[in-house]
Structure 1
Amino acid sequence: MPLSELRVFALTALIGTAGALIAILIAFPAPYLIGPAIAITIAGLAGLNLAVPAQVRNVCFIIVGVSMGATVTPEVIVAARTWPLSFVMVLVAVVILLYVSSWVLQRFFHYDRITALLASSPGHLSYVLSLAAETRCDLRAVSVGQSVRVLALTITVPLIVEIFDLVGTDPVLVPLAMSAPVLIAMLIVSALFGLLFIRWNFPAALLLGGVVVSIATHVTGFINGGVPNWLLVPTYVILGSVIGTRFCGVSIRELRTAFVAGGVVTVVVIVLAAAIAGSVSYLTGVPLDAALIAFAPGGLETMSAMAVMLHADPTYVGAHHVLRLMFLSVLMPVVLGKGARQR
């Protein structure tokens, strides 16, 4: 990496880290992603030359993929047998939310198909934005829309749950981290699979490489544990910084349009998800608060933490969000198609 490029990256990382710290202080949702994205955007609009080298970005994609796959444990399979109808409805809900929201964005906001699908994806923020960074889409629109979704769900779901005043008492377990040798081996194998997927022209190939290898080793119980926070947190900060660099040069009018579109889609998905959750609660007897949090299309970490804070069943909630991420990791590359990949 040339010295000039290294200096630009160092400045970008510094500003991104500052943005993450500020987001943490004001209790913003997904602070390690959204904080750096906002900070880098503001700095770029102020005229600073900011960038993240492609090599660093690619490593981050692999790490995020491994982290996602690590949530798919044998306990998820057990949970699927405990709540079969509820699990099936998660898959149905993902498809409904994805295509209805995508139709709204294409019909009323004139988004292209790929941008509309990514902006509508009811999935993990880091996964969707990693896909967006690797595909031919309007990353600004996707980033704003997804950020609005995460923020709105983080605010509205607790309010909705509070209205029904239903509580549980299940404890939550903090997952352990993989050992350093296992983690290194996992990243190397994931990179090799990612390179193979690149040859097959898959979108977000390096990210998918991490997802595939991590799921295969964790769901069988061959490997246990997730990516340690000392690696995952900087990865999210850098990914958020990558997102922010794509906002440089955007006009206020473009931001306003993307924000309005994101708000409309968020209302649509909240209404649909609440209706599906209510139906599942009625048919299965699952407490309504747990069903609402389980079917809310927010981030895994945010919704799992919310389940604990609101005393909903964390096992039920966590298993459903893991299933949603598993399904999305397969569904999104399929619906986007090979032609979505950049270059």
Structure 2
Amino acid sequence: MYLRGLVPGRRAVFALAIGALSGWLAALAGMPLPWMLGPMIGNTLAAILSLPVRGPDRLRPLVIPVIGVMLGSAMTPEMLDAAPRYMASFALLVPFLGLTALASYAVYRRIGRYDPVTAFFSAMPGGLNDMLILGGAAGGNEKRIALAHAARVLLVILFVVLFYGTALDVSSGEVARGTAASALTARDWALLGAAAVAGVPLGKILRLPAPQITGPMALSGALHLAGLVTVAPPGFLIIVAQVVIGTVIGCRFIGVSAAQIGRDLSLGAVSSVAMIAVAVAFAAALTAITGLPLSLSFLGYSPGGLTEMSLLALAMGQDVAYVSVLHLVRIMLVIFAAQPVFKATRRRDQTGTNPPRSES
């Protein structure tokens, strides 16, 4: 009874506590994206059980730039030096992304009967954070978009681990994308902090899509490419950012039935199978053209997360730089192309040439 009488502020703290505990348990269990998916799952269950949780929405815009800086930190001169060796991989990347998105969109639109906005951003092979931001801004159903991308990440990781018979070593979890706070110099703190703070208004001035994440990502990438900073953001900040975002996502399921969540996850599974099938076909074609190992080609094209695929490449003794570069380029292409492509398709639909079906 006492828990049910918590005031809204305490409900947000309670939700964050659930998120932190769930993230810790997910990391212990070796789940991919533990500090994101753990809080999301924990607070989704709390919402279904009608526990007194509420999303810490005011913290979300404060932590999203941290994710952008993290993504930008992957842009190192060494990675770009390796890029010319894999031009065929880059040449096939755009048609791969297009076919993958079409296959996934067909699942969500035709089978799931999602509205066009939600189906589009659920189908995009980008990251959960950025597609959630873009989809929400366009008026999509954020709950469904979040579940679609969460299911994709989990199922792709499971497929790779089972197919290649290797275990995903996540002993360092998402901290693998960060740096120990003690290892950062005062200059590192200042430059990374400047990228996070100045990146958002810069993104708005440049009219970048999802400026909260793309602005800091662009600034961070420029700093790393110039060699002015060589480290990622502190690992504990990355964990905090993901706990907050995962908690916010999970709390969006307040009032949603378990049956509805199960249906959306099932659609995510069907979509993931379709995306994996396209990835396997393109990986086989790339291997035939270049002679690269099929396992490396598939890791580069697999629609999973940059962090997880890079860790898998490391565990399998594959070229980590190649996998990281391809996934970084994939994320950037999807982030910057999703909004313009969406607007173009919406304008075409509104002309009446092929209007979308109304949703029941």
Identify the TM-score tier after normalising by the shorter chain: 0.7 to 0.9
Using the TM superposition, give the Cα deviation of residue 189 of structure 1 relative to its aligned residue in structure 2, in angstroms: 4.5
Aligned partner of 1:79 among 73, 78, 82: 82
- How many residue pairs get aligned? The number is 329
Q: 1:108 — aligned with what? A: 111
Could you list the per-position Cα deviations for residues 84-110 of structure 1 after superposition, in whole angstroms to 9, with x for gaps in the alignment?
111222233122212331133112222
Judged with a 3 Å threshold, the aligned counterparts in structure 2 of structure 1 residues 267 and 174 are, in CA distance, closer, same or farther, namely: closer
Helix, strand or coil at the partner of 2:248: helix
Judged with a 3 Å threshold, the aligned counterparts in structure 2 of structure 1 residues 174 and 319 are, in CA distance, closer, same or farther, namely: same
Judged with a 3 Å threshold, the aligned counterparts in structure 2 of structure 1 residues 243 and 329 are, in CA distance, closer, same or farther, namely: same
Using the TM superposition, give the Cα deviation of residue 123 of structure 1 relative to its aligned residue in structure 2, in angstroms: 2.4
Judged with a 3 Å threshold, the aligned counterparts in structure 2 of structure 1 residues 203 and 87 are, in CA distance, closer, same or farther, namely: closer
Matched, 1:276 2:282: yes
Using the TM superposition, give the Cα deviation of residue 116 of structure 1 relative to its aligned residue in structure 2, in angstroms: 1.4
Q: 1:94 — aligned with what? A: 97
Could you list the per-position Cα deviations for residues 262-316 of structure 1 after superposition, in whole angstroms to 9, with x for gaps in the alignment?
1111110000000000100110011111111111010111111111112222222
Judged with a 3 Å threshold, the aligned counterparts in structure 2 of structure 1 residues 32 and 14 are, in CA distance, closer, same or farther, namely: same
Judged with a 3 Å threshold, the aligned counterparts in structure 2 of structure 1 residues 125 and 21 are, in CA distance, closer, same or farther, namely: same
Decide which moves more: 12-21 or 319-328: 319-328
Aligned partner of 1:8 among 11, 18, 21: 11
Structure 1: gaps of 5 or more residues: 164-172
Q: 2:239 — aligned with what? A: 233
8 Å CA contact 1:97–1:269 kept in 2: the answer is yes
8 Å CA contact 2:209–2:336 kept in 1: the answer is no
- Structure 1 vs Structure 2 CA RMSD: 2.7
Helix, strand or coil at the partner of 1:83: helix
Judged with a 3 Å threshold, the aligned counterparts in structure 2 of structure 1 residues 333 and 271 are, in CA distance, closer, same or farther, namely: same
Read off the aligned partner of 1:309 and give its amino acid letter: A
Q: 1:19 — aligned with what? A: 22
Matched, 1:42 2:45: yes
8 Å CA contact 1:23–1:35 kept in 2: the answer is yes
Judged with a 3 Å threshold, the aligned counterparts in structure 2 of structure 1 residues 287 and 339 are, in CA distance, closer, same or farther, namely: closer
Judged with a 3 Å threshold, the aligned counterparts in structure 2 of structure 1 residues 75 and 189 are, in CA distance, closer, same or farther, namely: closer
TM-score under structure 2 normalisation?
0.83
Matched, 1:56 2:59: yes
Could you list the per-position Cα deviations for residues 55-103 of structure 1 after superposition, in whole angstroms to 9, with x for gaps in the alignment?
3100111111111111112223222211111122223312221233113
Matched, 1:330 2:336: yes
Q: 2:171 — aligned with what? A: none
Read off the aligned partner of 1:125 and give its amino acid letter: L
Judged with a 3 Å threshold, the aligned counterparts in structure 2 of structure 1 residues 209 and 51 are, in CA distance, closer, same or farther, namely: farther
Aligned counterparts of 1:218 and 1:333: Cα–Cα separation in 2: 26
Decide which moves more: 70-79 or 297-306: 70-79
Aligned counterparts of 1:176 and 1:46: Cα–Cα separation in 2: 37
Judged with a 3 Å threshold, the aligned counterparts in structure 2 of structure 1 residues 33 and 4 are, in CA distance, closer, same or farther, namely: same
Q: 2:267 — aligned with what? A: 261
8 Å CA contact 1:187–1:210 kept in 2: the answer is no
Could you list the per-position Cα deviations for residues 92-134 of structure 1 after superposition, in whole angstroms to 9, with x for gaps in the alignment?
3122212331133112222122211221122233333344454
Matched, 1:195 2:201: yes
Could you list the per-position Cα deviations for residues 129-159 of structure 1 after superposition, in whole angstroms to 9, with x for gaps in the alignment?
3444544211221122212111111111133
Helix, strand or coil at the partner of 2:308: helix
Matched, 1:316 2:319: no
Structure 2: gaps of 5 or more residues: 1-5, 167-175, 347-360
8 Å CA contact 1:135–1:203 kept in 2: the answer is no
Using the TM superposition, give the Cα deviation of residue 175 of structure 1 relative to its aligned residue in structure 2, in angstroms: 7.5
> Which aligned segments of 4 or more residues in structure 1 are displaced greater than 6 angstroms?
none
TM-score under structure 1 normalisation?
0.86
Aligned counterparts of 1:284 and 1:143: Cα–Cα separation in 2: 36
Judged with a 3 Å threshold, the aligned counterparts in structure 2 of structure 1 residues 29 and 10 are, in CA distance, closer, same or farther, namely: same
